[in-house]
Amino acid sequence: DTPLDIQKIRQDFPVLDQEVNGRPLVYFDNAATNQKPLPVIHALTRYYEGYNANIHRGIHHLAELATAAFEASRRAIQEFLNAKYWQEIIFTYGTTDGINLVAQSYGRRFLTEGDEIIISTMEHHSNIVPWQMLCEEKGCVLKVIPVDDNGELLLDEYEKLLSERTKLVACVHVSNSLGTINPVKTIIDKAHAVGALVLIDGAQASSHLDLDVQALDADFYVLSAHKLYGPTGMGVLYGKKEILDSMPPYRGGGEMIKEVTFAKTTYNDLPYKFEAGTPNIADVVAVKTALEYMANLGKENIATHEHDLLQYATEQLTTLDGLRIIGQAKEKIGVISFVMDGIHHQDIGVILDQQGIAVRTGHHCTMPLMQRFGIAGTTRASFAVYNTRDEVDRLIMGLRRVQKMML
Ligand code: PMP
């Protein structure tokens, strides 16, 4: 049982307090983006009402306040990930942006024809396409770790793919479609044994698991703020300092330079070398508040509560005839994907929406994973700290109604 007072927590999320199609909203699309608590919303308005200014360059009072808040967020993220140096925290626009940065900077500089990149079957498109683009340009080869019927990676097969040709392994920490928690420490250790670097996509892990990039020994770790109760359009790339130092800039422009002449430009130090242009200042500032909000609740308490919902929902869903859960890994976060005999996922989504229940339907940006399971898509319910067992009951009733209408 959780020590959290969920009804009290719900009051921190004004968006939850509304009716959709005449019914109280049930928001089960948290894996796509979770909702923002009042302290985060207030951090945004406080910034714009009180000290909006461009950072680093100004010497006036507001610029100093904005710069201090911006850099305080970097330290907060450093602590959140347990990174060794603050210079290892690069602000990006999100997970997608972070992966593209690594592919375009590290990949283009250091990978050559015949080098191999390993990803997994359960990657989000954002951890597939940037590597495909790189392979096309450089003549590298993409290899894919298969998954079993439960939605777990086949580690024996992974080992067979590894060789001295492997230069990079890019793998998701937690699957957004299946909820599977991958054994990333093992994946990293095995890659390092052949001299390959590892990028971990932490988009789904960040609000559910304790993160420690040093304990994992991850070379790169990427995440999006909007999946951890923070704003959209802001993310983080963590990279080991010596690796980031060796990489060329990704984008050119202001802020990322030391000196510019028409003859030659020298680049700024980390992390600014990778932060060209005016960043997303307000959202970076507000992310610190999101981390504090989660820390106050206790990440372990959040995980316990979500796990209870996962268990309860899994039990309840299996009472429905013709419903099959896709992804039954032993280690899962609160994400349940399922298909129903004779009913298209889109119809399920529409009929649930008519009852005020928000779920995700489709391929969840993991089309190859859907192909692996021989399906076009799933219906996905994903939980956050503010969800309740009563809401799970609403989902089950909603699905019974779907069956009544469609079968
Ligand atoms: N990877 C995973 C596992 C995700 O769930 C997502 C978001 N659905 C992404 C990457 C991409 O994140 P973003 O759209 O914030 O860049």
For ligand 1, mutation pick of 126, 207, 236, 280 (most atoms within 8 Å of CB):
126
Q: Ligand 1: distance of its center to the CA of 182 in Å?
A: 16
CB neighbour class for 315 (10 Å; exposed up to 12, middle 13-18, buried from 19): exposed
Candidate from 227, 229, 337, 367 with most ligand 1 atoms within 8 A of CB, to mutate: 227
Instruction: Give distance in angstroms: CA of 95 to centre of ligand 1.
Output: 6
* Residue 170 CB coordination number (10 Å): 26
Q: Are 403 and 339 in contact (CB under 8 A)?
A: no
Strand 323-326 versus strand 335-340 pairing type: antiparallel
pLDDT at 23: 98
Q: Where are the alpha helices (DSSP H) in 212-267?
A: 213-216, 241-246
d(CA 343, CA 325) in angstroms, rounded, equals 14
Give 47's contacts (C-beta < 8 A, 6+ positions apart): 66, 69, 281, 282, 285, 286
Q: Judge if pTM exceeds 0.95.
A: yes
Pocket of ligand 1 (CB under 6 A): 94-96, 124, 126-127, 172, 176, 201, 203-204, 224, 365
Q: Which value does ipTM take for this structure?
A: 0.99
Scanning the structure block, which residue is given the tokens 């020590």?
3
DSSP string, 336-397: EEEEETTB-HHHHHHHHHHTTEE-EEE-TT-HHHHHHTT-S-EEEEE--TT--HHHHHHHHH
Q: Burial letters for 288-300: b for 16+ Cβ neighbours within 10 Å, e otherwise?
A: bbbbebbeebebe
* Chain CA centroid to CA 150, Å: 22
Which residue type is seen at 310?
A: L
Find the largest Cα–Cα distance for the chain.
Answer: 73
Whole-number CA gyration radius for the chain: 22
Closest by CA position to 158, among listed 126, 116, 128: 116
pLDDT at res. 57:
79
For residues 131 and 142, the answer to whether their CB atoms sit within 8 Å is yes
Q: What is the pLDDT of residue 249?
A: 97
- CB of 103 within 8 A of CB of 134? yes
Mutational test site, ligand 1, from 91, 131, 176, 223, max ligand atoms within 8 Å of CB: 176
Query: 177 CA to middle of ligand 1, Å?
Result: 11
C-alpha distances in Å from residue 74, one per residue of 62, 176, 196, 236, 328: 19, 26, 28, 9, 36
**The ligand 1 atom nearest the CA atom of 123:** 3
Instruction: Give the residue among 146, 139, 143 at the shortest CA–CA distance from 162.
Output: 143
What's the confidence (pLDDT) of residue 96? 98
Provide the residue-wise pLDDT of the chain in tens; the chain has 407 residues. 678 999 999 999 999 999 999 999 999 999 999 999 999 999 999 999 999 999 997 899 999 999 999 999 999 999 999 999 999 999 999 999 999 999 999 999 999 999 999 999 999 999 999 999 999 999 999 999 999 999 999 999 999 999 999 999 999 999 999 999 999 999 999 999 999 999 999 999 999 999 999 999 999 999 999 999 999 999 999 999 999 999 999 999 999 999 999 999 999 999 999 999 999 999 999 999 999 999 999 999 999 999 999 999 999 999 999 999 999 999 999 999 999 999 999 999 999 999 999 999 999 999 999 999 999 999 999 999 999 999 999 999 999 999 999 99
* Residues annotated as catalytic (active site), given as ranges: 365
Residue nearest to atom 4 of ligand 1 (CA): 203
Please give the pLDDT value at position 58. 80
Asked if omega into 271 is within 30° of 0 (cis), the reply is yes
The phi and psi torsions of 92 (rounded to 5 degrees) equal -130, -175
Q: How many CA atoms lie within 13 A of 353 on its CB side?
A: 11
> How many CA atoms lie less than 13 Å away from 253 in the CB half-sphere?
8
The predicted structure's pLDDT at residue 2: 78
Q: What are phi and psi of 66, to 5 degrees?
A: -65, -45
Q: Whose CA is nearest to atom 5 of ligand 1?
A: 176
- Which atom of ligand 1 is nearest the CA belonging to 174? 3
